[in-house]
Amino acid sequence: MKIATIVGARPQFIKAATISRIIQEKSDIQEIIIHTGQHYDDNMSEVFFTELNIPRPHYNLGVGSSMHGKQTAKMLEGIEEILVKEKPDWIIVYGDTNSTVAGALAAAKLHIPIAHIEAGLRSYNRRMPEEINRIATDHISDVLFAPTQNALNILKQEGLAERSLFSGDVMYDSILYYKEISRSKVKLEDIADVQPDRYFLATIHRQENTDDIKRLQEIFLAFSEFDIPIIVPLHPRTKNILDDVAFRSNVKIISPVGYLEMVCLTSNCIKVFTDSGGLQKEAYFLKKPCITLREETEWIETLEGGWNFTVGADKQKILDKVHYCNYEPQKEYFGDGKAAEKIINYLLKK
Ligand code: UDP
């Protein structure tokens, strides 16, 4: 069986690492990796292939950054050409980026079956480009792997029950697999000048926070009021506009880090502040409280038991939740750590 995997953005490399590891254990699958080039800086792309032993992409379309339409169109053109040549039995797409929807659209028109991993997520905020990408991809894919029961229920409500199944979350598999590797290979002091359990961790890159300088300023004003350091591995999109934002020296900006470093930073911090989907979940998996810098979240399971709060970009709401510490035991919403195996076995049987 030949599978073409479409990746392009940071969270997809992390998910693909776990799926590719399982594929490599099966002698009867050949995987072709197509990198769209949506993320291209070394610390947003190359580092993941090296650290996580992801097979080198067979193709890199090098599309780079541009407006959504132009970027997606370039991907569509490039992916179509490769799929015509490679004739895979399946394509795998992940999550909700422009690379996801471009891959799915190209394959759907060529009648190549599409597996969507991390299907059924909804924020119900159609101003998010990711929401449009998710909805479109789910509705043109052939098999939808839902990471949680909530996601599966959403797919059922949208009339997609027959094509959907609960797999568990491959990012949960990833954390379980890489947690120990991170602990043995990476030292906190080599990443940032902080002590374990004496700092907060933040990431910010959602368009709603980076397109609106007032929101970004409000977030950084809140961070500046903390009496301990907050480490911010900064996404290139946010870095581009940071010159216009004021903050105090306890806010420590660093370059984006590799996954093993990020797992180390998350494991050792007190709390996470983020607008990232993936990091909200990793905070939950590592039992770190999260404060989400958005008005809503797709990962509603993490809100239970006080583990996550959505506060938007409201300084006072951010500050109000900093000292919250009344957490209830977590439930097992994200599967048993064997999502990748289930997904690949399913595709092999099909
Ligand atoms: N991440 C990383 N290095 C960083 C920041 C984040 O490896 O400097 C990882 C993080 O641990 C998570 C993933 O990137 O696994 C989340 O990706 P991102 O926030 O870019 O996208 P989202 O999950 O919001 O789609």
Which residue out of 35, 58, 205, 323 is catalytically annotated? 205
pLDDT for the residue 47: 98
Alpha helices (runs of H) in the chain, residue ranges in sequence order: 10-24, 46-51, 68-86, 98-109, 129-140, 149-157, 170-185, 188-191, 207-210, 213-224, 236-239, 259-268, 277-285, 315-321, 339-349
Residues 97, 103, 104, CA angle at the centre, nearest 5°?
A: 95
How does pLDDT run across 125-166, given as a tens digit for each residue?
Answer: 999 999 999 999 999 999 999 999 999 999 999 999 999 999
Distance 348 CA to ligand 1 centre (A): 29
Q: What is the pLDDT of residues 300-331, one digit of tens each?
A: 999 999 999 999 999 999 999 999 999 999 99
Q: Is the CB of 188 under 6 A from ligand 1?
A: no
323 flagged as catalytic = no
Full strand arrangement of the beta sheet holding 272-274: 251-254, 230-233, 200-203, 272-274, 290-292, 308-310
Q: Is 282 in the pocket of ligand 1 (CB under 6 A)?
A: yes
* Nearest residue (CA) to ligand 1, atom 24: 276
Domain coordinates of the chain in residue numbers? 2-169+335-349, 177-321
User: Which residue minimizes the CA distance to atom 13 of ligand 1?
Assistant: 11
pLDDT at 266: 98
Indicate the burial class of 25 (C-beta count within 10 angstroms; 0-12, 13-18, 19 or more).
exposed
- Asked whether 203 lines ligand 1 (CB < 6 A), one says yes
Ligand 1 atom nearest residue 263's Cα: 11
Is the pLDDT confidence value at 92 over 90? Answer: yes
Q: Which atom of ligand 1 sits closest to the CA of residue 256?
A: 8
Question: Of the CATH numbers 3.40.50.300, 3.40.50.2000, 3.30.465.10, 3.40.50.920, which one belongs to the domain with range 2-169+335-349?
Answer: 3.40.50.2000
Query: What is the rounded distance in angstroms from the CA atom of residue 158 to the CA atom of residue 120?
Result: 9
pLDDT for 1: 97
Q: Which residues contact 55 (CB under 8 A, 6 or more apart)?
A: 20, 24, 31, 33
Atom of ligand 1 nearest to the CA of 96: 25
Residues 52-70 pLDDT 10s = 999 999 999 999 999 999 9
Q: What is the pLDDT of residue 240?
A: 86
The reported pLDDT for the residue numbered 108 is 98
CATH of domain 177-321: 3.40.50.2000
* Residues 104, 115: Cα–Cα separation, whole Å: 9
Q: Look at residue 174 in the predicted model and tell me its pLDDT.
A: 98
At 210 the pLDDT is 94
Q: Identify the residue whose C-alpha is closest to ligand 1 atom 23.
A: 278
> Which of 316, 308, 315 is closest to 220 using CA atoms?
315
Give the pLDDT mean for 293-300.
Answer: 97
Give the burial class of 327: count Cβ atoms within 10 A of its Cβ; 0-12 exposed, 13-18 middle, 19 or more buried.
exposed
Ligand 1 atom with minimal separation from the 48 CA: 7
Pick from 203, 230, 280 the residue to mutate for probing ligand 1's pocket: most ligand atoms within 8 Å of its CB. 203
For 201-254, write each residue's pLDDT tens digit: 999 999 999 999 999 999 999 999 999 999 999 999 899 899 989 999 999 999
In short, whether 38's Cβ falls inside 6 Å of ligand 1 is no
What per-residue confidence (pLDDT) applies to 283? 98
Residue 107 has pLDDT above 90, yes or no: yes
With a 6 A CB cut-off, is 99 part of the ligand 1 pocket?
no
For atom 16 of ligand 1, which residue has the closest CA?
278
Please check the confidence at residue 333 and state whether its pLDDT lies above 90.
yes
Does 177-321 match 2-169+335-349 at the fold level?
Answer: yes
Q: What is the pLDDT of residues 15-44, one digit of tens each?
A: 999 999 999 999 999 999 999 999 999 999
